[in-house]
């Protein structure tokens, strides 16, 4: 059963809590600091409503028990009642955006771009459910997922968080992921968060946190559409986006947050800001806070400056710049979510049945992730039926990303920006490990120098991108673009150092092509497996390969790749992103002039 916001019992409970709360306690409920800048004692003193872990911010040794202990301490602090303090359980939030990948030993699922290629809504729901179980195993209640971005320009560093360039797949997945995560608000439920509202994937030049210039009709068709099924499915929270729309930032956008999201779409959960998102609304921090609260944002992710935030907001209420009705509305929404989710009925995290569950990183979840990998691979080229390979053939495996679980997992894995190599991704398999367990005679030579036509029948070369997250993954042809964006956007802009200046892999990572050349010069046929968060311009690499597979960011279960290369399973994936011919082309299905290298929906198979 989806969340039922029209529940009388909930209303009675919420109203009775609200009427007993002081202004301090109300403002505390609206505040979400980052764990590194708040102690349990401060949670109690300031009546804090929620704490989060930013990407890579992990307690203790970063195993589930460390997380349970941490959240237990925060929760206990929030539940210490006194004359000034009403016991209101704290919500803990994390980015479990492709499994609970911040935590060591988690099952890491393919990033959304790969799931989009699988075009399998039922799979999405099962992944949501497995992710929820792993989140619960760490005593955590809330994940900032699903991302419902419709990425329209592959230069965007968050393209891999998007299921598709076309709203149709994102729309078909939105409710399934919410249902998977929120699990009828029963024992296996965590709170989902649809993000980032709205137009995050539509920015000019794909600049993260940039400017989306569209008519309302286009905004609705492309970027608002996926939120409709998510809200129908009862998604309990929505995160506002850093981007601006026609010059005005979403964090201060009354029309988008209050009129459209809460009004027209009828969203009754609460709206959370993005990480310090309020900071960029105006030069003056205090003014920015009033703008955002009055626009309809209910809870504020304020990583470090939460005390200043609280002081300013209180002053605004006393001065009347922010009406108390707005505060009451925000707190009512937050409490409603807590009540609907059953947070008041749950025991402390250390005593919850899901906490420290052996399901965390368990075989069953890894099998599901492996299935998702198999289904997400897209076969772009297969000359003379080079694939599937025989497990008996003499195989050379090469390439920077061949034995690199970190690169396979991409950003938002253990660290915000992800990790390189195998160490931090416990218990999974690299693509090489998958191949070598299926074909024990296979040989690994990362730079391909061991290639020998006498000894090798075929080579599998695994190349692509290094991990990145958010703006650090942007491709920006020139820094002039920052100035251009700044001239269009009201408020401040925050731009991170870009990943590169081109989508062309041969220029981004020239060593990949060298590895391929070293091998193909010997006359050994090459199967190329591309590990990347987006389609890249790979004309040169395609020319060097007899077969070419887009593997996206498959996550911890690299053996899903060998399952398909050896023909134990057929390819199922189809492009949910159009593949560009050159770096200046950013094709999207439905464009008036549409001439990509591989069209949306393209994908070869072994069978009919
Ligand atoms: C990202 C969000 C994320 C938040 C918390 C922000 O930088 O934009 O997607 O949920 O950090 O980690």
Minimum mean pLDDT range among 35-49, 213-227, 452-466, 485-499: 485-499
Q: From 149, 274, 495, give the residue whose CB has the most ligand 1 atoms within 8 Å, as the site to mutate.
A: 274
Residue 1 scores a pLDDT above 70:
no
Ligand 1 atom with the shortest distance to the CA of 55: 12
User: Is 440 a member of any domain?
Assistant: yes
Going from the Cα of 544 to the center of ligand 1, the distance in angstroms, rounded, reads: 38
Which tens digits make up the pLDDT trace of 429-459? 999 999 999 999 999 999 999 999 999 999 9
* Active-site annotation, residues: 274, 470
Which run of H or of E encompasses 469? Answer: none
d(CA 339, CA 306): 25
What Å distances lie between residue 176 and 15, 103, 113, 126, 399, CA to CA? 32, 24, 16, 9, 36
d(CA 239, CA 251): 10
Give the pLDDT score at 2: 57
Kindly give, in sequence order, each residue whose CB lies less than 8 Å from that of residue 151, ignoring residues fewer than 6 positions away: 158, 159, 161, 162, 164, 165, 201, 206, 534, 577
Pairing mode of beta strands 526-531, 547-552: parallel
Cβ-contact 271, 227 below 8 angstroms:
no
Q: From 37, 57, 95, 207, give the residue whose CB has the most ligand 1 atoms within 8 Å, as the site to mutate.
A: 95
Whether 280 is in the pocket of ligand 1, judged by its Cβ within 6 Å, is no
Which tens digits make up the pLDDT trace of 175-204? 999 999 999 999 999 999 999 999 999 999
Residue 328 scores a pLDDT above 60:
yes
Give the pLDDT score at 82: 87
Ligand 1 atom with the shortest distance to the CA of 161: 9
CATH code of the domain covering residue 559: 3.40.50.1700
Residue 15 scores a pLDDT above 90:
yes
Q: What is the mean pLDDT of residues 318-346?
A: 98
Whether 567 is in the pocket of ligand 1, judged by its Cβ within 6 Å, is no
* Tokens found for residue 112: 């959304």
Say what the pTM is.
0.98
Pick the residue whose CA is nearest to atom 4 on ligand 1: 275
Pick the residue whose CA is nearest to atom 7 on ligand 1: 275
Residue 84 scores a pLDDT above 90:
no
Ligand 1 atom with the shortest distance to the CA of 144: 10
Which tens digits make up the pLDDT trace of 388-429? 999 999 999 999 999 999 999 999 999 999 999 999 999 999
> Nearest CA to 411 among 530, 303, 553?
553
Give the pLDDT score at 274: 98
Cβ-contact 159, 113 below 8 angstroms:
yes
Going from the Cα of 427 to the center of ligand 1, the distance in angstroms, rounded, reads: 26
- In the Cβ-directed half-sphere of 550, how many Cα atoms lie within 13 Å? 31
Q: From 144, 193, 277, 299, give the residue whose CB has the most ligand 1 atoms within 8 Å, as the site to mutate.
A: 144
Tell me which residue has tokens 């203790």: 60
Kindly give, in sequence order, each residue whose CB lies less than 8 Å from that of residue 491, ignoring residues fewer than 6 positions away: 244, 249, 252, 280, 281, 282, 288
Give the pLDDT score at 5: 64
Q: How many domains does the chain have?
A: 1
Q: What is the mean pLDDT of residues 44-63?
A: 97
User: Is 86 a member of any domain?
Assistant: no
Q: Which domain holds residue 446?
A: 363-565
Pick the residue whose CA is nearest to atom 8 on ligand 1: 274
Cα angle 534-539-540, degrees, rounded to a multiple of 5? 120
DSSP string, 491-520: S----PPPSBS-SBHHHH-HHHHHHHHHHH
**Beta-carbon neighbour count of residue 413 at 10 Å?**
32
Give the pLDDT score at 3: 59
Whether 275 is in the pocket of ligand 1, judged by its Cβ within 6 Å, is yes
Pick the residue whose CA is nearest to atom 11 on ligand 1: 275
User: Is 541 a member of any domain?
Assistant: yes
Which tens digits make up the pLDDT trace of 110-169? 999 999 999 999 999 999 999 999 999 999 999 999 999 999 999 999 999 999 999 999
User: Is 178 a member of any domain?
Assistant: no
Which tens digits make up the pLDDT trace of 366-389? 999 999 999 999 999 999 999 999
Residue 6 scores a pLDDT above 70:
no
Whether 119 is in the pocket of ligand 1, judged by its Cβ within 6 Å, is no
Going from the Cα of 41 to the center of ligand 1, the distance in angstroms, rounded, reads: 25
Give the pLDDT score at 380: 99
Minimum mean pLDDT range among 5-9, 24-28, 93-97, 472-476: 5-9
Give the pLDDT score at 116: 98
Cβ-contact 257, 295 below 8 angstroms:
yes
Pick the residue whose CA is nearest to atom 12 on ligand 1: 54
Give the pLDDT score at 495: 86
Q: From 34, 50, 53, 55, give the residue whose CB has the most ligand 1 atoms within 8 Å, as the site to mutate.
A: 55
Going from the Cα of 275 to the center of ligand 1, the distance in angstroms, rounded, reads: 6
Residue 257 scores a pLDDT above 70:
yes
Going from the Cα of 424 to the center of ligand 1, the distance in angstroms, rounded, reads: 21
Whether 55 is in the pocket of ligand 1, judged by its Cβ within 6 Å, is yes
**Which alpha helices (DSSP H) does 341-395 contain, by range?**
363-376
User: Is 426 a member of any domain?
Assistant: yes
d(CA 275, CA 3): 26
Give the pLDDT score at 14: 97
Instruction: Identify the DSSP state of 586.
Output: -
Pick the residue whose CA is nearest to atom 2 on ligand 1: 274
User: Is 327 a member of any domain?
Assistant: no
Whether 54 is in the pocket of ligand 1, judged by its Cβ within 6 Å, is yes
Cβ-contact 175, 122 below 8 angstroms:
no
Number of residues that make up the chain: 608
Ligand 1 atom with the shortest distance to the CA of 470: 8
Pick the residue whose CA is nearest to atom 6 on ligand 1: 275
Ligand 1 atom with the shortest distance to the CA of 416: 12
Q: What is the mean pLDDT of residues 476-503?
A: 94
Which run of H or of E encompasses 530? Answer: strand 526-531
Asked if omega into 326 is within 30° of 0 (cis), the reply is no
Name beta bridge partners: 244: 211, 249
Ligand 1 atom with the shortest distance to the CA of 193: 10
Ligand 1 atom with the shortest distance to the CA of 54: 12
Whether 144 is in the pocket of ligand 1, judged by its Cβ within 6 Å, is yes
Give the pLDDT score at 92: 98
Give the pLDDT score at 8: 86
User: Is 290 a member of any domain?
Assistant: no
Whether 500 is in the pocket of ligand 1, judged by its Cβ within 6 Å, is no
**Beta-carbon neighbour count of residue 105 at 10 Å?**
18
User: Is 519 a member of any domain?
Assistant: yes
Going from the Cα of 128 to the center of ligand 1, the distance in angstroms, rounded, reads: 19
């Amino acid at each position: 059963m989806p969340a039922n916001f029209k529940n009388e019992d909930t209303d009675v409970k919420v109203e009775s809590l609200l009427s007993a709360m002081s202004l301090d306690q109300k403002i505390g409920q609206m505040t979400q600091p980052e764990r590194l800048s708040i102690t349990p004692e401060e949670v109690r003193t300031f009546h804090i409503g929620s704490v989060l872990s930013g990407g890579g911010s992990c307690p203790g040794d970063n195993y589930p028990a460390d997380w349970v202990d941490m959240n237990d301490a925060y929760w206990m602090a929030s539940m210490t009642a006194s004359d000034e303090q009403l016991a209101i359980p704290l919500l803990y939030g994390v980015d479990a955006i492709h499994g609970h990948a911040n935590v060591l030993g988690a099952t890491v699922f393919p990033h959304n771009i790969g799931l989009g290629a699988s075009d399998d809504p039922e799979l999405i729901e099962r992944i949501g459910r497995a992710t929820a179980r792993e989140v619960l195993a760490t005593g955590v209640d809330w994940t900032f997922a699903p991302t419902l971005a419709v990425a329209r320009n592959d230069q965007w560093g968050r393209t891999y968080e998007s299921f598709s360039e076309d709203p149709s797949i994102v729309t078909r997945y939105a409710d399934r992921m919410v249902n998977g995560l929120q699990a009828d608000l029963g024992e296996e439920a965590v709170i989902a968060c649809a993000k980032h509202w709205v137009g995050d994937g539509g920015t000019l030049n794909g600049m993260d946190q940039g400017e989306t210039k569209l008519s309302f009709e286009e905004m609705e068709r492309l970027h608002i559409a996926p939120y409709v099924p998510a809200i129908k499915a009862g998604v309990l929270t929505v995160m506002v986006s850093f981007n601006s729309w026609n010059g005005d930032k979403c964090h201060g956008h009354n029309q988008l947050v209050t009129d459209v999201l809460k009004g027209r779409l009828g969203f009754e959960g609460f709206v959370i800001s993005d990480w310090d998102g309020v900071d960029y609304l105006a030069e003056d921090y205090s003014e920015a806070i009033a703008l955002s609260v009055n626009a309809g944002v209910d809870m504020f992710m304020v990583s470090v400056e939460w005390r200043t935030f609280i002081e300013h907001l209180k002053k605004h209420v006393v001065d009347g710049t922010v009406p108390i009705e707005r505060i009451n509305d925000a707190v009512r929404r937050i409490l409603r979510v807590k009540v609907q989710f059953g947070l008041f009925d749950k025991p402390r995290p250390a005593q919850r049945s899901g906490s420290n569950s052996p399901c965390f990183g368990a075989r069953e979840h890894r099998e599901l992730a492996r299935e998702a990998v198999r289904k997400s691979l897209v076969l772009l080229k297969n000359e003379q039926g080079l694939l599937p390979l025989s497990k008996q053939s003499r195989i050379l495996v090469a390439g920077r990303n061949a034995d690199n679980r970190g690169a396979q997992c991409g950003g938002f894995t253990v660290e915000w920006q992800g990790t390189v190599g195998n160490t931090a991704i416990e218990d999974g398999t690299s693509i090489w490990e998958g191949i070598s367990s299926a074909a024990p005679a296979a040989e690994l030579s990362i730079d391909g120098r061991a290639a020998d036509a006498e000894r090798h029948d075929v080579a599998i070369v695994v190349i692509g991108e290094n991990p990145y997250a958010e703006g650090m993954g942007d491709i920006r042809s020139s820094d002039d673009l920052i100035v251009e964006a700044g001239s269009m956007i009201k408020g401040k802009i925050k731009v991170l150092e870009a990943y590169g200046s081109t989508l062309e892999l041969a220029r981004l990572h020239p060593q990949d092509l060298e590895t391929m050349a070293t091998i193909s010069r010997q006359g050994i046929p090459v199967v190329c497996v591309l590990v990347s968060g987006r389609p890249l311009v790979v004309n040169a690499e395609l020319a060097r390969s007899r077969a070419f597979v887009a593997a996206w960011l498959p996550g911890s279960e690299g053996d899903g790749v060998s399952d398909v290369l050896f023909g134990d399973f057929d390819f199922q994936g189809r492009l949910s992103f159009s593949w560009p011919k050159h770096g200046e082309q950013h094709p999207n299905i439905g464009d008036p002039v549409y001439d990509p290298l591989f069209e949306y929906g393209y994908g070869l198979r072994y069978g009919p």
